[in-house]
């Protein structure tokens, strides 16, 4: 198939393009900033510059390519300052998830694109009641925290628009596996504490496994929604010390809720104490997906081995390399 990867220069796009080529597809990869053109070309895709928030440009570009399939991986999260107000941090990403989704679906319909897959998110989506791990059939949170209301609404909008058009929505867990993952710096600087009892459950996914699931989804008929997460949803109190250790950082601090609220706002406290994780059973069953990194327990250690070495005092790294 001729596959158009929207956001080919991003964290997931850069892992997805080589896997699609490996699977025998012809890939065109979109980007926004000029600097990304060479990266997309080096990955083996034909690069195309498109501003997704310019409806006419989207139409012209996609109609000119005439892809058989499209996958939308565009977000605007590079160097985002995660403030106490999550909606402020996600403002541009929310526009991409609503306006750009509409523009992409409209041209896809017009030119008869056969498959449409879009990025969504699994963590903080599900109802904060009942068991710790949720399936795609479980209800979404009916009362999202106020400062993340627009972000949650944009994800819902995207999911409804894509499935209504017959497409596939992938609710990814937290990405990891790149040297510039967003959690690395805060964890290394001990700015990411365990809040209260650390009961909030997170689902993770290694970028290589996320890309593999996406290739399979592109070869599958929709409409459908899949959680693309690993086998091991876990509370913050479990995964955060393991991540800190993998990065060679000091163990995380412990904050009471009231203190965390001052720094991270209500959304941060909710994620750390009440969020639910997601089950990947449906994606495994229906897509035939097999994970290379079934748990972050091994995945963090492998992904961040060099990060930890860079962060270690000389005596420790000397000792280890001599071992």
Ligand X SMILES: NC(=O)c1ccc[n+]([C@@H]2O[C@H](COP(=O)([O-])OP(=O)(O)OC[C@H]3O[C@@H](n4cnc5c(N)ncnc54)[C@H](OP(=O)(O)O)[C@@H]3O)[C@@H](O)[C@H]2O)c1
Interacting residue ranges for ligand X, rule: CB under 6 A: 7-11, 13, 31-33, 36, 50-53, 74-78, 121, 172, 174-175, 180-182
Nearer to ligand X among residue 120 and residue 273 (C-beta) = 120
Q: Which among 132, 130, 119 has a CA at the least distance from the CA of 277? A: 132
Nearer to ligand X among residue 63 and residue 262 (C-beta) = 63
Nearer to ligand X among residue 62 and residue 322 (C-beta) = 62
- CB-based closest residue to ligand X: 10
For the CB of residue 95, give the shortest distance to ligand X in the complex, in Å: 8
Q: Which residues contact 88 (CB under 8 A, 6 or more apart)?
A: none
Give the 3-state DSSP-derived string for the chain, with helices as H, strands as E and coil as C: CEEEEECCCCHHHHHHHHHHHHCCCEEEEEECCCCHHHHHHHCCCEEEECCCCCHHHHHHHHHHHCCCEEEECCCCCCCCCCCCCHHHHCHHHHHHHHHHHHHHHHHHHHHCCCEEEEEEECCCCECCCCCCEECCCCCECCCCCHHHHHHHHHHHHHHHHHHHCCCEEEEECEEECCCCCCCHHHHHCCCCCEECCCCCEECEEEHHHHHHHHHHHHCCCCCEEEEECCCCCEEHHHHHHHHHHHCCCCCCCEECHHHHHHHHHHHHHHHHHCCCEECCHHHHHHHCCCCCCCCHHHHHHHHCHHHHHHHCCHHHHHHHHHC
Nearer to ligand X among residue 115 and residue 125 (C-beta) = 125
Nearer to ligand X among residue 72 and residue 273 (C-beta) = 72
For the CB of residue 314, give the shortest distance to ligand X in the complex, in Å: 29
For the CB of residue 172, give the shortest distance to ligand X in the complex, in Å: 4
Nearer to ligand X among residue 45 and residue 52 (C-beta) = 52
For the CB of residue 132, give the shortest distance to ligand X in the complex, in Å: 19
For the CB of residue 189, give the shortest distance to ligand X in the complex, in Å: 16
For the CB of residue 322, give the shortest distance to ligand X in the complex, in Å: 34
Nearer to ligand X among residue 53 and residue 301 (C-beta) = 53
Nearer to ligand X among residue 295 and residue 317 (C-beta) = 295
For the CB of residue 229, give the shortest distance to ligand X in the complex, in Å: 10
The pairing of strands 26-31 and 234-235 is: unpaired
- Whats the size of the chain, residue-wise? 323
For the CB of residue 228, give the shortest distance to ligand X in the complex, in Å: 9
């Amino acid at each position: 198939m001729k596959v158009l990867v929207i956001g080919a220069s991003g964290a997931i796009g850069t892992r997805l393009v080589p896997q699609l080529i490996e699977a025998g597809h012809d890939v065109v990869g979109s980007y926004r900033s000029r600097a990304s053109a060479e990266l997309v070309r080096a990955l083996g895709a034909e690069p195309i510059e498109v501003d997704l928030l310019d409806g006419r440009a989207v139409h012209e570009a996609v109609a000119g390519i005439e892809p058989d399939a499209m996958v939308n991986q565009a977000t605007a999260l590079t160097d985002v300052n995660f403030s106490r107000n999550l909606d402020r941090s996600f403002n541009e990403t929310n526009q991409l998830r609503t306006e750009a989704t509409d523009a992409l679906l409209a041209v896809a319909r017009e030119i008869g694109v056969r498959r449409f897959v879009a990025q969504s998110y699994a963590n903080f989506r599900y109802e904060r009641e009942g068991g710790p791990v949720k399936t795609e059939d479980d209800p979404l949170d009916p009362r999202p925290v106020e400062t993340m209301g627009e972000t949650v609404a944009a994800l819902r909008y995207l999911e409804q628009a894509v499935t209504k058009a017959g497409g596939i929505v992938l609710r990814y867990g937290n990405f990891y596996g790149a040297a510039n993952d967003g959690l690395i710096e805060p964890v290394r600087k001990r700015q990411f504490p365990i809040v209260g009892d650390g009961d909030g459950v997170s689902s993770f996914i290694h970028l290589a496994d996320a890309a593999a699931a996406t290739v399979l989804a592109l070869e599958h008929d929709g409409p459908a929604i899949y959680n693309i997460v690993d086998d091991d949803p876990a509370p913050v109190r479990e995964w955060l010390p393991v991540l800190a250790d993998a990065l060679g950082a000091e163990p995380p601090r412990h904050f009471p809720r009231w203190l965390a609220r001052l720094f991270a706002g209500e959304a941060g406290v909710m994620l750390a104490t009440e969020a639910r994780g997601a089950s990947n059973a449906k994606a495994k069953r229906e897509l035939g997906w097999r994970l290379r990194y079934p748990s972050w327990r091994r995945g963090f250690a492998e992904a961040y081995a060099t990060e930890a070495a860079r962060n270690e005092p000389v005596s420790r790294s000397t000792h280890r390399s001599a071992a």
